[in-house]
Chains A and B, each alone.
Chain A
Amino acid sequence: MLPASAKAPHKQPHKQSISIGRGTRKRDEDSGTEVGEGTDEWAQSKVTVRPPDQLELTDAELKEEFTRILTANNPHAPQNIVRYSFKEGTYKPIGFVNQLAVHYTQVGNLIPKDSDEGRRQHYRNELVAGSQESAKVISETENLEEDEEPKELETEPGSQTDVPAAGAAEKVTEEELMTPKQPKERKLTNQFNFSERASQTYNNPVRDRECQTEPPPRTNFSATANQWEIYDAYVEELEKQEKTKEKEKAKTPVAKKSGKMAMRKLTSTESQTDDIIKLSQAAKIMERMVNQNTYDDIAQDFKYYEDPADEYRDQVGTLLPLWKFQNDKAKRLSVTALCWNPKYRDLFAVGYGSYDFMKQSRGMLLLYSLKNPSFPEYMFSSNSGIMCLDIHVEHPYLVAVGHYDGNVAIYNLKKPHSQPSFCSSAKSGKHSDPVWQVKWQKDDMDQNLNFFSVSSDGRIVSWTLVKRKLVHVDVIKLKVEGSTTEVPEGLQLHPVGCGTAFDFHKEIDYMFLVGTEEGKIYKCSKSYSSQFLNTYDAHNMAVDTVSWNPYHTKVFMSCSSDWTVKIWDHTIKTPMFIYDLNSAVGDVAWAPYSSTVFAAVTTDGKAHIFDLAINKYEAICNQPVAAKKNRLTHVQFNPIHPIIIVGDDRGHIICLKLSPNLRKMPKERDPG
C-alpha cells in the first residue's frame, strides 16, 4: 500500500522508462521517483555513469520537468471495464473499478478477543478448567491489562508487573469460592414458584404393512443320474433321429400316401390309451411263471430227470409223462395233426378235427408252448375240421392247414386275425375230399411260397402263393393201376386212387411217396404227372403215414390201420421189416437223433418205441400213455428235447420224456 503523499495533475506517462537525468536505473513507480529534494542529494553523491545505450538528450530536454503523480490506483486494474446490462441490452461501462491490489495474504489463527468467536472460546475455556481456569482467567485478565500498559509505554520494568500480579493473587483467593459456579450454566429459578413443564410430542403410531403374493406352484422333482438313465436318454435320442429320418424318407418318395398311412397308423396306435394293454407282456410272463410254480416238479423232471432204473433194465426204456395239454374248446375234437415249430422249440401246433365221417363239426388250430401248459398261445377256429398242418421251416409264423372239406389255408401267426390269411375255395381248385396232408416246399423260382397237398380225391396239388392268392397246380392225379374197368360203350373209367399220406424225400427234391387208401404206396416225381416211378404193395388197409428216414435216404417207413408198421428200402419192393402191433397204428415217426429209433402209437392207447440197433424184432418200449378208450392219433418227436408229444382222439395231448435207454445214439461206424 502506497501512502499517497503527493498529488499533481495527472499526466499519462507515455514512456515508462524515463531515466531522470543522470542515469538512475529503472525503477517502479513506488520506488521513489519523487522529484524533490532527495534527488539533489543523490545527484551529488554519485558519479555520473553513462550506460552505452542511454538516450542522448539536449540540455533543454534534460531540464524539462516531468511531473509524476503517485496515485492509489492499481496500475494493473483495467480502466474500462464494461458489463452487459440486461436491462438496456447493451454493454455499459462500469464507472468505478476496484483498485485493490492484494500483494500478500496469509490465513492466520489469531482471533480478536472481542469478536464472537473469541468470546465463545473464552467462555469455553472457563467452563472446562473450573477454578484453576478461573484463576488463570483472572490472572490473564490482569496480565492483559498489565500488558497493555507496557505496550504503550515500551519501557516497562518487571517490578511493576509483579506488584499487580501479587494483588491479583489476593483477588484470586477471595474469589475462588465464588468463581466455580460461574462457568456452570446457572439456571435462575424461582425458589417459591417453579414448576418444570415438559411436554412430549406425539409419536405417530408405527404400523407394519405386509403383502404376500400367492406362491408359485411348486413340485418336488428328484431323479438319479445313473448310468442306465443316461443310456436310456441316448437310446431315445437315437430313436427319435431314426424316426425323423424315416419320416423324411417316407415323405420324399412318390407314394406320399404311404407316408400318410404310416402317420395314421402311428396316431391310431397312440390313441389307444387303454392302459391294460400295456400289461400284456407282463401278464404273459406272469402266467408262465405261475404255471411254472404249479407244475414245478414237472418242469424239473423235464429238465433233469433221468430214469436211473434204465441202467438195470436191459435195453428197455420208459416214457415219463410230463405235461398234459387240453383245452375246453377243443374237448370233443380229435387231435388230427401235430407239428413242432422249427424255430421255437417249445412251441407246437395242434390241429383239431374229427376222423368220424358221420360227426363232422368245426375245427381248431391251437399252438401251445411248453412254458404255459394251461393255455394255448394261439388259437384259431375254423368251420371245417382241420386234418393236417405244416409249419414252414424258414417262416415259422406260416402254418398251412388242410381241412376236411377239401380246403387249404395258410394262417399267419404274426397277424392278429382269426381268419386264415389265405384260403382256397371251390373256385380256386380245392379238393373235393378231405385233405389228408400238407407239406411246405422250398420257395419256387419267383420266391413264392409253395406247398403240396394230398387228398382222397386223388389229386396231389401244388399251391403257390402268388400275389396274395393261392394258385393251384395239379401235380399228379392218382390212378389205380392195373384195374382199368371196362365199361360198356367203350368209355374207360380210371378209378381214382385216394391219397392219404405223403412225404417228400429229404435230399432228392422231386421225389416223394404217396400212400393211398387202397394200401399202396407210390413213389412219384414232381415232374411226371401221370406215371409213377414205383409202386409198393404196402398194406391191406389205408396207409396212414409214410415217412422217409432222416439219415438213411433210402429207407422209409409206413403204417396202416391193418395193425402193421413196415420199413422199406425204396429200391426194393418188399419191406425190410414188418411189425405187428396188435392194434391199428395211428402214426409213426422217426427220431431226429438216431437213424434207428422210431415211435408208433396205436388206437389202444399205447405208445411203442423201437430201436433197430438194439432190438430188431421188438419194441424197446411198450407203454400205455392214455386210457384204453382213448385212441392215440399222432405222435411227434421234439427236434432237440428228449420228449414226444402224443395226441389222442379226445383232444388231449400228452408230453412224455424218453428215458435214456430210448435215446441211445448210434455209434460212429467206419464206412464200409
Chain B
Amino acid sequence: MNEWTNTGREPDPLPSSLAGPTAPGLGEPQAEVEETLKRIQSHKGVIGTMVVNAEGIPIRTTLDNSTTVQYAGLLHHLTMKAKSTVRDIDPQNDLTFLRIRSKKHEIMVAPDKEYLLIVIQNPCE
C-alpha cells in the first residue's frame, strides 16, 4: 500500500466567504509565480531552489552563497550545452527540462527564455 503522506504545508488562511481573486493564474501573475516557488521550496525533499539569469548570475536562492554560485555557474554551462545539442539535431525542437540524478540527490533545471530555475531535491528513499 502506498503511504498517504501529508505534504506538511502550513494551511493557508481561509479567505472570506466573499469571492475574491484567490485562484492561480488570475489577477496577479507575479504572486502566482511567487507562490509556486514557495510551494516548490516547501515540498518534501527539496533541498534548495535558485533562479539564475541568462548570464549565469544567481538572482534568488535559498542556499548559501558559495554553493549557489557554484551550482549556477556549472549548471548554466551544462544547460546551454544541452540546449545546443537538442537544437542542433532539430532546430524546431527546444529543451524543456533537464534532470541530473546522482547518488545523493537530483538536480532539476527548467530553462526559460531568460532564466533558469534550478531545484535540488532528495527523492525520498
Give me the interface of A with B, judged by CB distance under 8 Å.
Answer: 224, 226-228, 230-232, 274-287, 289-291, 293-294, 296-298, 301, 321-322, 324, 328-329, 331, 361-362, 374-383, 416-419
Does B73 lie at the interface of the complex (its beta carbon under 8 Å from any beta carbon of A)?
A: no
Say which residue of A226, A286, A328 sits within 8 Å of B88 (CB atoms). A226
| Complex Cα–Cα for A419 and B27 (A) | 11
- Contact between chains at A377 and B115 (CB < 8 Å): no
> What's the nearest-Cβ distance from chain B to residue A175, in Å?
100
- Contact between chains at A378 and B17 (CB < 8 Å): no
Given contacts A286-B40, A290-B46, contact A381 B115 (CB under 8 A): no
Given contacts A290-B46, A329-B15, contact A279 B115 (CB under 8 A): yes
- Contact between chains at A278 and B115 (CB < 8 Å): yes
In which size bucket is the chain B interface?
Answer: 35 or more
> What's the nearest-Cβ distance from chain A to residue B104, in Å?
14
Say which residue of A278, A297, A362, A382 sits within 8 Å of B114 (CB atoms). A278
| Complex Cα–Cα for A56 and B73 (A) | 132
> What's the nearest-Cβ distance from chain A to residue B90, in Å?
8
- Contact between chains at A231 and B20 (CB < 8 Å): no
- A320 to B, closest residue via Cβ: B2
Which B residues, 1 to 50, have Cβ-Cβ distances below 8 Å to chain A?
1-2, 4, 7, 9, 11-12, 14-15, 17-27, 29-30, 32-34, 36-37, 39-40, 43-46
> What's the nearest-Cβ distance from chain A to residue B14, in Å?
6
- A652 to B, closest residue via Cβ: B4
Complex interface: chain B residues within 8 A of A279 (CB): 33, 37, 51, 112, 115, 117
- Contact between chains at B110 and A282 (CB < 8 Å): yes
- Contact between chains at B12 and A276 (CB < 8 Å): no
Could you list 7 A-B pairs, sorted by A, with CB under 8 Å? A283-B33, A286-B40, A290-B46, A290-B119, A291-B43, A294-B121, A380-B19
- Contact between chains at B7 and A374 (CB < 8 Å): yes
Which 8 pairs from chain A and chain B are nearest by CB? Answer: A228-B87, A231-B91, A282-B110, A379-B23, A228-B91, A282-B112, A328-B11, A416-B26
- Contact between chains at A417 and B26 (CB < 8 Å): yes
Which B residues, 32 to 77, have Cβ-Cβ distances below 8 Å to chain A?
32-34, 36-37, 39-40, 43-46, 51, 59
Complex interface: chain A residues within 8 A of B91 (CB): 227-228, 230-232
| Complex Cα–Cα for A274 and B33 (A) | 11
Say which residue of B11, B27, B121 sits within 8 Å of A290 (CB atoms). B121
The majority secondary structure among interface residues of chain A is: helix
| Complex Cα–Cα for A291 and B92 (A) | 29
Say which residue of A296, A362, A377 sits within 8 Å of B17 (CB atoms). A362
- B99 to A, closest residue via Cβ: A289
Complex interface: chain A residues within 8 A of B39 (CB): 287, 374-375
Does B113 lie at the interface of the complex (its beta carbon under 8 Å from any beta carbon of A)?
A: yes
Chain B, residues 95-125, CB within 8 Å of chain A (1/0): the string is: 0110100000010101111111101010110
Complex interface: chain B residues within 8 A of A294 (CB): 43-45, 121, 123-124
- Contact between chains at A418 and B121 (CB < 8 Å): no
- B24 to A, closest residue via Cβ: A379
> What's the nearest-Cβ distance from chain A to residue B9, in Å?
8
Say which residue of B20, B33, B106, B124 sits within 8 Å of A381 (CB atoms). B20
Complex interface: chain A residues within 8 A of B20 (CB): 381, 418
Complex interface: chain A residues within 8 A of B21 (CB): 417-418
New contact pairs (7) apart from A286-B108, A286-B119, A416-B27, CB-CB < 8 Å: A228-B84, A278-B115, A283-B36, A283-B40, A296-B123, A374-B39, A379-B22
| Complex Cα–Cα for A668 and B24 (A) | 47
| Complex Cα–Cα for A370 and B30 (A) | 24
| Complex Cα–Cα for A418 and B92 (A) | 36
- Contact between chains at A278 and B112 (CB < 8 Å): yes
Give me the interface of B with A, judged by CB distance under 8 Å.
Answer: 1-2, 4, 7, 9, 11-12, 14-15, 17-27, 29-30, 32-34, 36-37, 39-40, 43-46, 51, 59, 84, 87-88, 91-92, 96-97, 99, 106, 108, 110-117, 119, 121, 123-124
Complex interface: chain B residues within 8 A of A322 (CB): 2
> What's the nearest-Cβ distance from chain A to residue B124, in Å?
6
> What's the nearest-Cβ distance from chain A to residue B62, in Å?
13
- Contact between chains at A298 and B36 (CB < 8 Å): no
- Contact between chains at A381 and B23 (CB < 8 Å): yes
- Contact between chains at B26 and A418 (CB < 8 Å): yes
| Complex Cα–Cα for A324 and B114 (A) | 35
Complex interface: chain A residues within 8 A of B27 (CB): 416-418
Given contacts A377-B24, A383-B19, A416-B25, contact A287 B106 (CB under 8 A): no
- Contact between chains at A276 and B123 (CB < 8 Å): no
- A281 to B, closest residue via Cβ: B112
- Contact between chains at A280 and B7 (CB < 8 Å): no
Complex interface: chain A residues within 8 A of B96 (CB): 285
Complex interface: chain A residues within 8 A of B106 (CB): 293
Which one of B9, B26, B99 has the greatest number of beta carbons of chain A within 10 Å?
B26
Complex interface: chain A residues within 8 A of B99 (CB): 289
> What's the nearest-Cβ distance from chain A to residue B41, in Å?
10
- Contact between chains at B17 and A361 (CB < 8 Å): yes
| Complex Cα–Cα for A298 and B123 (A) | 13
- A293 to B, closest residue via Cβ: B123
> What's the nearest-Cβ distance from chain A to residue B65, in Å?
21
Complex interface: chain B residues within 8 A of A274 (CB): 30
Complex interface: chain B residues within 8 A of A284 (CB): 36
- B115 to A, closest residue via Cβ: A279
Complex interface: chain B residues within 8 A of A381 (CB): 15, 19-20, 22-23
| Complex Cα–Cα for A289 and B92 (A) | 24
| Complex Cα–Cα for A361 and B14 (A) | 13
- Contact between chains at B110 and A286 (CB < 8 Å): yes
| Complex Cα–Cα for A226 and B2 (A) | 48
> What's the nearest-Cβ distance from chain B to residue A651, in Å?
12
Given contacts A279-B51, A286-B110, A290-B46, contact A227 B88 (CB under 8 A): yes
